[in-house]
């Protein structure tokens, strides 16, 4: 009999973890905010979080537009809704970090399947998806689960779709608030990819890394990979369907 293998998954947050969100987003906002771009970007995050928690659910593109208009007004800049919505046309300019492709390729070579759990709409993520050399095996968007991280819906949906065993799943992200904290709460193994080199609370996470190369080693350690006696694989449906929050 041939040896039985298991399906092992590594999921990622996208914007800020694989995609250089801060640099790309600031460049986009500079087109409409001019010399106030730094102030607008600093104010943006708080408005985004408020809108993502509001009900009924808003598409991420509407969250972006409204947050930009409100953050600009807060700091005394002038950004119209029309200006903010036009910026969405530059979404393809958001680019991966320099180490992202090597990180993904290294994990694929080790036999991991790769997924994305993103606070984004289907169409915007599809634009970003095309910037990567190879497609991901599965992705779950905020539009499909009708909720935003740090709420648990992305994680719950991924687990339902793949039937993954907890021992065969590691989540990788840069944001403590959106990803690492909920992963900890749900008991999901995780790697904090600390792009900001903050390190505060690093001792409390499953694994800590500051580069893509360190992530690969951290994932291998967390998976406790063995050469023999691997548990039986479960079947995987990689078609992401609509999953409503309860």
Q: Is the pLDDT of residue 193 over 70?
A: yes
State residue 3's pLDDT score. Answer: 40
pLDDT band at residue 6 using 50, 70 and 90 as cut-offs: confident
Average pLDDT over residues 194-198: 95
State residue 224's pLDDT score. Answer: 77
Average pLDDT over residues 75-101: 96
Q: Which two tokens stand for residue 196?
A: 């900001």
What digits encode the pLDDT tens for the residues 201-212? 999 999 999 999
Instruction: Give CA separation, 128 vs 18, 92, 116, 131, 132, in Å.
Output: 10, 6, 11, 5, 7
CA distance 132 to 116: 12
**Exposed/middle/buried for residue 125 (C-beta within 10 Å: 0-12, 13-18, 19+):** buried
pTM (2 d.p.) = 0.89
From its phi and psi, is residue 111 left (phi > 0), alpha (psi between -120 and 50) or beta?
left
Among 43-57, 187-201, 230-244, name the one with the lowest average pLDDT: 230-244
State residue 5's pLDDT score. Answer: 59
Pairing of strands 138-141, 9-12: unpaired
Q: Is the pLDDT of residue 151 over 90?
A: yes
Cβ–Cβ under 8 Å, residues 36 and 72: yes
Write down the mean pLDDT value for the chain: 90
Q: Is the pLDDT of residue 236 over 80?
A: no
Q: Is the pLDDT of residue 225 over 80?
A: no
227: cis peptide before it, omega within 30°? no
Average pLDDT over residues 78-98: 95
| Better-scored residue on pLDDT, 228 or 188 | 188
Cβ–Cβ under 8 Å, residues 208 and 193: no
Alpha helices in 93-211, H assignment, sequence order: 100-109, 122-129, 142-145, 153-162, 181-186
> In the chain, pLDDT over 70 holds for what percent of residues?
89
| Better-scored residue on pLDDT, 111 or 232 | 111
Q: Is the pLDDT of residue 136 over 70?
A: yes
State residue 229's pLDDT score. Answer: 37
State residue 233's pLDDT score. Answer: 33
State residue 239's pLDDT score. Answer: 36
Q: Is the pLDDT of residue 2 over 90?
A: no
| Angle ∠(76,90,194) on CA atoms, nearest 5 | 80
State residue 237's pLDDT score. Answer: 36
Domains and CATH numbers, the chain: 9-19+95-223 (3.40.50.1000), 21-93 (1.10.150)
Q: Which two tokens stand for residue 78?
A: 């002038």
CA distance 184 to 97: 25
How many other C-beta atoms lie within 10 A of the C-beta of residue 211? 15
State residue 226's pLDDT score. Answer: 40
What digits encode the pLDDT tens for the residues 21-80? 999 999 999 999 989 999 999 999 999 999 999 999 999 999 999 999 999 999 999 999
């Amino acid at each position: 009999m041939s040896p039985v293998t298991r399906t092992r998954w590594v999921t990622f947050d996208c914007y800020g973890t694989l995609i250089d969100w801060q640099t790309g987003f600031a460049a986009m906002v500079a087109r409409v905010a001019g010399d106030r771009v730094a102030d607008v970007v600093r104010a943006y995050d708080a408005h985004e979080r408020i809108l993502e928690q509001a009900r009924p659910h808003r598409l991420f593109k509407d969250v972006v537009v409204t947050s930009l208009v409100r953050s600009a007004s807060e700091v005394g800049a002038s950004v119209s809704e029309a200006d903010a919505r036009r910026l969405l046309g530059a979404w393809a300019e958001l680019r991966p970090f320099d180490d992202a492709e090597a990180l993904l390729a290294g994990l694929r070579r080790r036999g991991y399947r790769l997924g994305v759990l993103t606070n984004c709409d289907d169409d915007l993520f599809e634009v970003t998806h095309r910037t990567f050399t190879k497609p991901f095996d599965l992705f779950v968007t905020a539009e499909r689960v009708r909720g935003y991280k740090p709420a648990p819906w992305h994680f719950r949906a991924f687990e339902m779709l793949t039937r993954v065993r907890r021992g065969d799943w590691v989540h990788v992200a840069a944001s403590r608030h959106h990803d690492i904290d909920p992963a900890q709460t749900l008991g999901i193994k995780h790697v904090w990819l600390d792009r900001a080199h903050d390190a505060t609370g690093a001792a409390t996470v499953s694994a800590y890394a500051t580069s893509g190369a360190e992530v690969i080693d951290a994932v291998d350690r967390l998976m406790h990979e063995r050469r023999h006696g691997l548990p039986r694989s479960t079947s995987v449906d990689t078609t992401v369907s609509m999953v409503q929050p309860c």
